Amino acid sequence: MTTIHVHALENEAYAVEIASALLREGMVVAIPTETVYGLAAIITNDDAIRRIFLAKGRPSDNPLIVHVATMADVASIAMVSALAQRLMDAFFPGALTLVLPKLSHVSDLVTAGLNTVAVRMPDLALTRAIIAAAGAPVAAPSANRSGRPSPTMAEHVIDDLDGAIAAVIDAGSCRDGLESTVVRIVDEQLFLLRPGNVRRDDIERAVGVRVRDVPATADLRHSPGTRYRHYAPAAQVVLVRSMEEAARMRDASHDRVLLLAPSDLAIGIPWRPLSSASLYAELRRADTLHVKKIIVHCDEQVQANEALMNRLQKAAEPSTEN
Ligand code: TXA
Ligand code: MG
Protein backbone atom coordinates (compact mmCIF):
# COMPACT_ATOMS: atom_id res chain seq x y z
CA MET A 1 0.00 0.00 0.00
CA THR A 2 1.28 3.47 -0.82
CA THR A 3 0.67 5.85 2.05
CA ILE A 4 -0.67 9.21 0.82
CA HIS A 5 0.89 12.24 2.57
CA VAL A 6 -1.68 15.07 2.65
CA HIS A 7 -0.48 18.56 3.65
CA ALA A 8 -3.51 19.86 5.52
CA LEU A 9 -2.07 23.28 6.29
CA GLU A 10 -2.00 24.05 2.56
CA ASN A 11 -5.57 22.95 1.83
CA GLU A 12 -7.77 22.03 4.78
CA ALA A 13 -10.92 21.34 2.79
CA TYR A 14 -9.07 18.85 0.58
CA ALA A 15 -7.57 17.14 3.65
CA VAL A 16 -11.03 16.74 5.20
CA GLU A 17 -12.44 15.39 1.94
CA ILE A 18 -9.74 12.77 1.34
CA ALA A 19 -9.47 11.67 4.99
CA SER A 20 -13.22 11.26 5.43
CA ALA A 21 -13.60 9.43 2.09
CA LEU A 22 -10.91 6.91 3.07
CA LEU A 23 -12.44 6.47 6.56
CA ARG A 24 -15.88 5.82 5.06
CA GLU A 25 -14.29 3.11 2.88
CA GLY A 26 -12.95 1.40 6.00
CA MET A 27 -9.34 2.50 5.59
CA VAL A 28 -6.98 3.50 8.39
CA VAL A 29 -5.82 7.15 8.32
CA ALA A 30 -3.35 8.92 10.61
CA ILE A 31 -4.92 12.19 11.75
CA PRO A 32 -3.50 15.10 13.72
CA THR A 33 -4.97 16.09 17.09
CA GLU A 34 -3.83 18.69 19.63
CA THR A 35 -2.23 15.92 21.77
CA VAL A 36 -0.51 13.42 19.43
CA TYR A 37 -1.27 11.95 15.99
CA GLY A 38 -3.96 9.25 16.07
CA LEU A 39 -4.49 6.18 13.89
CA ALA A 40 -8.15 6.49 12.96
CA ALA A 41 -10.79 4.07 11.70
CA ILE A 42 -14.56 4.34 11.72
CA ILE A 43 -16.17 2.51 14.71
CA THR A 44 -19.08 1.14 12.68
CA ASN A 45 -16.78 -1.11 10.57
CA ASP A 46 -15.12 -4.03 12.42
CA ASP A 47 -12.72 -4.73 9.54
CA ALA A 48 -11.50 -1.13 9.74
CA ILE A 49 -10.92 -1.49 13.51
CA ARG A 50 -8.99 -4.74 12.93
CA ARG A 51 -6.74 -2.83 10.51
CA ILE A 52 -5.71 -0.45 13.34
CA PHE A 53 -4.48 -3.33 15.53
CA LEU A 54 -2.72 -4.88 12.54
CA ALA A 55 -0.94 -1.68 11.46
CA LYS A 56 0.20 -0.83 15.02
CA GLY A 57 1.07 -4.33 16.12
CA ARG A 58 -1.12 -3.60 19.14
CA PRO A 59 -2.40 -6.38 21.44
CA SER A 60 -6.14 -6.75 20.74
CA ASP A 61 -6.99 -6.70 24.47
CA ASN A 62 -5.88 -3.05 24.80
CA PRO A 63 -8.99 -0.92 24.09
CA LEU A 64 -9.11 2.18 21.85
CA ILE A 65 -10.28 5.75 22.50
CA VAL A 66 -13.33 6.80 20.48
CA HIS A 67 -13.04 10.34 19.08
CA VAL A 68 -16.24 12.32 18.51
CA ALA A 69 -17.12 15.55 16.72
CA THR A 70 -20.11 16.64 18.83
CA MET A 71 -21.62 16.25 22.32
CA ALA A 72 -24.51 14.34 20.74
CA ASP A 73 -22.00 11.76 19.45
CA VAL A 74 -21.02 10.97 23.08
CA ALA A 75 -24.58 10.08 24.03
CA SER A 76 -24.80 7.86 20.93
CA ILE A 77 -22.11 5.49 22.27
CA ALA A 78 -22.06 5.86 26.08
CA MET A 79 -24.21 6.47 29.17
CA VAL A 80 -23.63 10.06 30.23
CA SER A 81 -24.08 10.54 33.99
CA ALA A 82 -24.61 13.96 35.58
CA LEU A 83 -20.92 14.15 36.55
CA ALA A 84 -19.84 13.05 33.05
CA GLN A 85 -21.97 15.83 31.59
CA ARG A 86 -20.35 18.42 33.88
CA LEU A 87 -16.88 17.22 32.86
CA MET A 88 -17.86 17.41 29.19
CA ASP A 89 -19.25 20.91 29.65
CA ALA A 90 -15.98 22.00 31.26
CA PHE A 91 -13.38 20.18 29.12
CA PHE A 92 -14.86 19.08 25.76
CA PRO A 93 -13.45 19.72 23.24
CA GLY A 94 -10.00 19.12 24.76
CA ALA A 95 -7.36 16.74 26.03
CA LEU A 96 -9.61 14.86 28.46
CA THR A 97 -10.73 11.28 27.77
CA LEU A 98 -13.64 9.93 29.83
CA VAL A 99 -14.16 6.20 30.43
CA LEU A 100 -17.93 5.71 30.55
CA PRO A 101 -20.37 2.75 30.51
CA LYS A 102 -20.79 1.83 26.84
CA LEU A 103 -24.01 1.30 24.90
CA SER A 104 -24.39 -2.28 23.70
CA HIS A 105 -24.03 -1.56 19.97
CA VAL A 106 -20.42 -0.33 20.36
CA SER A 107 -18.13 -3.01 18.91
CA ASP A 108 -16.24 -5.24 21.34
CA LEU A 109 -13.20 -4.80 19.08
CA VAL A 110 -13.07 -1.11 20.06
CA THR A 111 -13.45 -1.72 23.80
CA ALA A 112 -11.57 -5.05 23.97
CA GLY A 113 -14.73 -6.60 25.37
CA LEU A 114 -14.99 -4.19 28.33
CA ASN A 115 -18.38 -2.76 29.32
CA THR A 116 -16.88 0.74 29.20
CA VAL A 117 -15.79 2.96 26.33
CA ALA A 118 -13.18 5.74 26.37
CA VAL A 119 -14.43 8.95 24.67
CA ARG A 120 -12.66 12.15 23.69
CA MET A 121 -13.61 15.22 21.61
CA PRO A 122 -10.40 16.67 20.13
CA ASP A 123 -9.80 20.40 20.40
CA LEU A 124 -8.25 20.67 16.93
CA ALA A 125 -11.03 21.89 14.61
CA LEU A 126 -9.54 19.97 11.65
CA THR A 127 -9.87 16.68 13.57
CA ARG A 128 -13.53 17.34 14.38
CA ALA A 129 -14.20 18.32 10.77
CA ILE A 130 -12.73 15.00 9.57
CA ILE A 131 -14.82 13.00 12.08
CA ALA A 132 -18.00 14.90 11.19
CA ALA A 133 -17.41 14.32 7.45
CA ALA A 134 -16.68 10.62 8.07
CA GLY A 135 -20.27 10.35 9.35
CA ALA A 136 -19.44 8.35 12.53
CA PRO A 137 -17.04 8.54 15.48
CA VAL A 138 -13.54 7.14 14.90
CA ALA A 139 -11.42 4.97 17.15
CA ALA A 140 -7.85 6.24 17.30
CA PRO A 141 -4.91 5.07 19.36
CA SER A 142 -1.67 7.00 19.04
CA ALA A 143 -0.29 6.51 15.51
CA ASN A 144 3.00 4.87 16.48
CA ARG A 145 3.98 1.24 16.10
CA SER A 146 3.61 -0.45 19.51
CA GLY A 147 6.74 0.11 21.56
CA ARG A 148 7.62 3.49 19.97
CA PRO A 149 6.87 6.95 21.43
CA SER A 150 3.63 8.60 20.35
CA PRO A 151 4.08 10.65 17.14
CA THR A 152 3.90 14.42 17.42
CA MET A 153 4.74 15.09 13.75
CA ALA A 154 3.62 13.45 10.50
CA GLU A 155 7.26 12.44 9.87
CA HIS A 156 7.13 10.24 13.02
CA VAL A 157 4.03 8.49 11.67
CA ILE A 158 5.75 7.90 8.33
CA ASP A 159 8.87 6.53 10.07
CA ASP A 160 6.72 3.95 11.88
CA LEU A 161 3.86 3.16 9.49
CA ASP A 162 4.75 4.05 5.88
CA GLY A 163 3.16 1.48 3.59
CA ALA A 164 0.94 0.07 6.36
CA ILE A 165 -1.79 2.77 6.34
CA ALA A 166 -3.82 4.55 3.64
CA ALA A 167 -2.85 8.15 4.45
CA VAL A 168 -1.36 10.60 6.91
CA ILE A 169 -2.96 14.01 7.29
CA ASP A 170 -0.10 16.39 8.10
CA ALA A 171 -0.97 19.47 10.18
CA GLY A 172 2.54 20.06 11.53
CA SER A 173 3.63 19.58 15.14
CA CYS A 174 1.00 18.76 17.77
CA ARG A 175 0.29 21.58 20.24
CA ASP A 176 0.47 19.47 23.46
CA GLY A 177 2.80 16.63 22.52
CA LEU A 178 1.53 14.32 25.31
CA GLU A 179 -1.47 11.98 25.23
CA SER A 180 -4.77 13.05 26.80
CA THR A 181 -5.67 12.74 30.48
CA VAL A 182 -7.77 9.57 30.98
CA VAL A 183 -10.34 9.58 33.79
CA ARG A 184 -12.76 6.81 34.71
CA ILE A 185 -16.08 7.61 36.38
CA VAL A 186 -17.45 4.95 38.73
CA ASP A 187 -20.49 5.73 40.93
CA GLU A 188 -19.78 9.44 40.42
CA GLN A 189 -16.23 9.07 41.73
CA LEU A 190 -13.24 9.95 39.53
CA PHE A 191 -10.15 7.78 38.98
CA LEU A 192 -7.10 9.01 37.08
CA LEU A 193 -5.96 6.27 34.66
CA ARG A 194 -3.40 8.44 32.83
CA PRO A 195 -2.25 11.99 33.67
CA GLY A 196 -2.22 14.51 30.81
CA ASN A 197 -2.26 18.24 30.17
CA VAL A 198 -5.74 18.57 31.67
CA ARG A 199 -4.50 18.51 35.23
CA ARG A 200 -5.93 16.81 38.28
CA ASP A 201 -6.50 20.15 40.05
CA ASP A 202 -8.14 21.68 36.94
CA ILE A 203 -10.69 18.85 37.06
CA GLU A 204 -11.18 19.07 40.84
CA ARG A 205 -11.71 22.83 40.62
CA ALA A 206 -14.16 22.54 37.73
CA VAL A 207 -16.45 19.88 39.21
CA GLY A 208 -15.62 19.85 42.94
CA VAL A 209 -14.93 16.09 42.99
CA ARG A 210 -11.62 14.56 44.11
CA VAL A 211 -9.59 12.84 41.38
CA ARG A 212 -8.26 9.63 42.95
CA ASP A 213 -5.47 7.32 41.91
CA VAL A 214 -6.47 3.81 40.91
CA PRO A 215 -6.01 1.71 44.07
CA ALA A 216 -3.04 -0.68 43.78
CA THR A 217 -5.39 -3.58 44.44
CA ALA A 218 -7.85 -2.59 41.69
CA ASP A 219 -8.76 -4.97 38.92
CA LEU A 220 -6.32 -3.96 36.17
CA ARG A 221 -8.95 -4.45 33.50
CA HIS A 222 -10.10 -0.98 34.54
CA SER A 223 -6.83 0.53 33.30
CA PRO A 224 -5.64 -1.88 30.61
CA GLY A 225 -2.90 0.42 29.35
CA THR A 226 -0.97 -0.08 32.59
CA ARG A 227 -0.36 -3.77 31.77
CA TYR A 228 1.78 -3.09 28.71
CA ARG A 229 5.41 -2.24 28.51
CA HIS A 230 5.77 1.44 27.81
CA TYR A 231 8.12 3.01 25.39
CA ALA A 232 11.64 3.51 26.65
CA PRO A 233 14.37 4.85 24.34
CA ALA A 234 17.41 2.74 23.48
CA ALA A 235 19.47 5.15 25.58
CA GLN A 236 19.56 4.90 29.36
CA VAL A 237 17.44 7.74 30.78
CA VAL A 238 18.46 9.19 34.15
CA LEU A 239 16.41 11.81 35.97
CA VAL A 240 18.32 14.32 38.08
CA ARG A 241 17.11 17.21 40.22
CA SER A 242 20.15 19.46 40.31
CA MET A 243 22.99 20.72 38.16
CA GLU A 244 25.50 19.05 40.53
CA GLU A 245 23.82 15.69 40.05
CA ALA A 246 23.82 16.20 36.28
CA ALA A 247 27.55 16.92 36.32
CA ARG A 248 28.21 13.76 38.39
CA MET A 249 26.26 11.70 35.84
CA ARG A 250 28.28 13.26 33.03
CA ASP A 251 31.56 12.35 34.76
CA ALA A 252 30.41 8.76 35.31
CA SER A 253 29.77 8.23 31.61
CA HIS A 254 32.19 7.77 28.74
CA ASP A 255 29.57 7.24 26.03
CA ARG A 256 27.57 9.62 23.90
CA VAL A 257 25.54 11.68 26.42
CA LEU A 258 22.73 14.18 25.91
CA LEU A 259 21.26 16.68 28.38
CA LEU A 260 17.50 17.32 28.23
CA ALA A 261 16.74 20.30 30.45
CA PRO A 262 14.44 23.33 30.67
CA SER A 263 17.56 25.47 30.11
CA ASP A 264 21.22 24.81 29.24
CA LEU A 265 23.16 23.94 32.39
CA ALA A 266 26.40 24.55 30.47
CA ILE A 267 28.10 21.42 31.78
CA GLY A 268 29.90 20.71 28.53
CA ILE A 269 27.58 18.17 26.90
CA PRO A 270 25.05 18.64 24.05
CA TRP A 271 21.80 20.18 25.33
CA ARG A 272 18.26 19.98 23.99
CA PRO A 273 15.32 21.88 25.54
CA LEU A 274 12.90 19.84 27.68
CA SER A 275 9.15 20.51 27.34
CA SER A 276 5.93 18.45 27.17
CA ALA A 277 5.46 19.46 23.56
CA SER A 278 8.89 18.31 22.40
CA LEU A 279 9.69 15.33 24.68
CA TYR A 280 8.70 12.55 22.26
CA ALA A 281 10.42 14.22 19.30
CA GLU A 282 13.62 14.51 21.38
CA LEU A 283 13.48 10.85 22.44
CA ARG A 284 13.05 9.75 18.81
CA ARG A 285 15.92 12.01 17.80
CA ALA A 286 18.21 10.62 20.52
CA ASP A 287 17.52 7.09 19.25
CA THR A 288 18.40 8.15 15.69
CA LEU A 289 21.68 9.65 16.93
CA HIS A 290 22.51 6.49 18.95
CA VAL A 291 22.80 8.45 22.18
CA LYS A 292 23.77 6.09 25.03
CA LYS A 293 22.65 8.15 28.01
CA ILE A 294 20.08 10.94 28.35
CA ILE A 295 20.42 13.05 31.50
CA VAL A 296 17.10 14.77 32.20
CA HIS A 297 17.11 17.76 34.51
CA CYS A 298 13.78 17.84 36.37
CA ASP A 299 13.65 21.29 37.97
CA GLU A 300 10.80 22.27 40.30
CA GLN A 301 8.54 23.27 37.44
CA VAL A 302 9.06 19.95 35.67
CA GLN A 303 8.49 18.07 38.95
CA ALA A 304 5.18 19.90 39.39
CA ASN A 305 4.02 18.72 35.94
CA GLU A 306 2.38 15.36 36.68
CA ALA A 307 1.93 14.33 33.03
CA LEU A 308 5.49 15.18 31.99
CA MET A 309 6.97 13.45 35.08
CA ASN A 310 4.82 10.38 34.38
CA ARG A 311 6.20 10.03 30.82
CA LEU A 312 9.78 10.76 31.98
CA GLN A 313 9.54 8.10 34.70
CA LYS A 314 8.24 5.58 32.15
CA ALA A 315 11.09 6.41 29.78
CA ALA A 316 13.54 5.93 32.66
CA GLU A 317 12.20 2.48 33.62
CA PRO A 318 14.49 -0.30 32.42
CA SER A 319 12.70 -1.81 29.41
CA THR A 320 11.76 -5.38 30.23
CA GLU A 321 10.36 -7.29 27.27
CA ASN A 322 7.03 -9.02 27.78
O1 TXA B 1 -4.32 11.96 23.32
C2 TXA B 1 -4.74 10.82 23.14
O3 TXA B 1 -5.48 10.25 23.97
C4 TXA B 1 -4.30 10.10 21.85
C5 TXA B 1 -4.90 10.87 20.67
C6 TXA B 1 -4.69 10.15 19.36
O7 TXA B 1 -6.25 11.13 20.91
N8 TXA B 1 -4.72 8.72 21.88
C9 TXA B 1 -4.11 7.78 22.65
O10 TXA B 1 -4.60 6.49 22.49
O11 TXA B 1 -3.20 8.03 23.41
P12 TXA B 1 -3.87 5.18 23.05
O13 TXA B 1 -4.65 4.04 22.51
O14 TXA B 1 -2.44 5.23 22.70
O15 TXA B 1 -4.10 5.23 24.58
C16 TXA B 1 -5.39 5.00 25.10
C17 TXA B 1 -5.32 4.60 26.55
C18 TXA B 1 -4.72 3.21 26.70
O19 TXA B 1 -3.90 3.21 27.86
C20 TXA B 1 -5.95 2.34 26.90
O21 TXA B 1 -5.67 1.17 27.62
C22 TXA B 1 -6.89 3.27 27.64
O23 TXA B 1 -6.66 4.55 27.07
N24 TXA B 1 -8.30 2.91 27.44
C25 TXA B 1 -9.00 2.88 26.29
N26 TXA B 1 -10.26 2.42 26.51
C27 TXA B 1 -10.35 2.17 27.82
C28 TXA B 1 -11.39 1.68 28.67
N29 TXA B 1 -12.59 1.34 28.20
N30 TXA B 1 -11.13 1.54 29.99
C31 TXA B 1 -9.91 1.89 30.47
N32 TXA B 1 -8.88 2.36 29.73
C33 TXA B 1 -9.10 2.49 28.42
MG1 MG C 1 -0.37 4.94 22.65
Q: How far is the CA of 280 from the centre of ligand 1 (A)?
A: 17
Model pLDDT for residues 83-139, shown as the tens digit of each residue: 999 999 999 999 999 999 999 999 999 999 999 999 999 999 999 999 999 999 999
Pair 195, 113: CB distance under 8 Å = no
Band the pLDDT of 255: cuts 50, 70, 90: confident
Q: Which atom of ligand 1 is nearest to the CA of 226?
A: 19
pLDDT mean over 294-303: 97
Residue in 125, 136, 156, 148 with CA at minimum distance from that of residue 67? 136
Tell me the CA distances in angstroms from 269 to 120, 251, 280, one per residue in order: 41, 11, 20
pLDDT tens for each residue of 194-226? 999 999 999 999 999 999 999 877 775 556 666
Mean local confidence (pLDDT), 52-64 = 94
Q: Which of 65, 169, 227 to mutate to test the pocket of ligand 1 (most atoms within 8 A of CB)?
A: 65
How far CA 149 is from CA of 33, 153, 229, 232, 309, in Å, comes to 16, 11, 12, 8, 15
Residue with the smallest CA separation from ligand 1 atom 15 is: 141
Q: Compute the mean pLDDT over every residue in the chain, rounded to the nearest whole number.
A: 94
Lining residues, ligand 1, CB within 6 Å: 33, 35-36, 38, 62-65, 97, 99, 111, 114, 116-118, 120, 140-142, 179-180, 182, 193-194, 223-225
Average pLDDT on 250-255 reads: 83
Distance, CA 265 to ligand 2 centroid (Å)?
A: 32
pTM over 0.85: yes
Residue spans in the chain of domains classed CATH 3.90.870.10: 4-222
Q: What is the pLDDT of residue 227?
A: 61
Neighbours of ion ligand 2 (CB under 5 A): 142
Higher-pLDDT residue of 233 and 181 is: 181
* Average confidence (pLDDT) over 32-54: 98
The DSSP code sequence of 99-136 is EEEBPTTS-HHHHTT-SEEEEE--S-HHHHHHHHHHTS
Ligand 1 centroid – CA 61 distance (Å): 12
- 169 CA from centroid of ligand 1 (Å): 20
Report pLDDT for 322.
Answer: 35
Query: At 189, phi and psi to the nearest 5?
Result: -110, 155
62 alpha carbon to ligand 2 midpoint, in Å? 10
CATH code of 4-222, in short, is 3.90.870.10
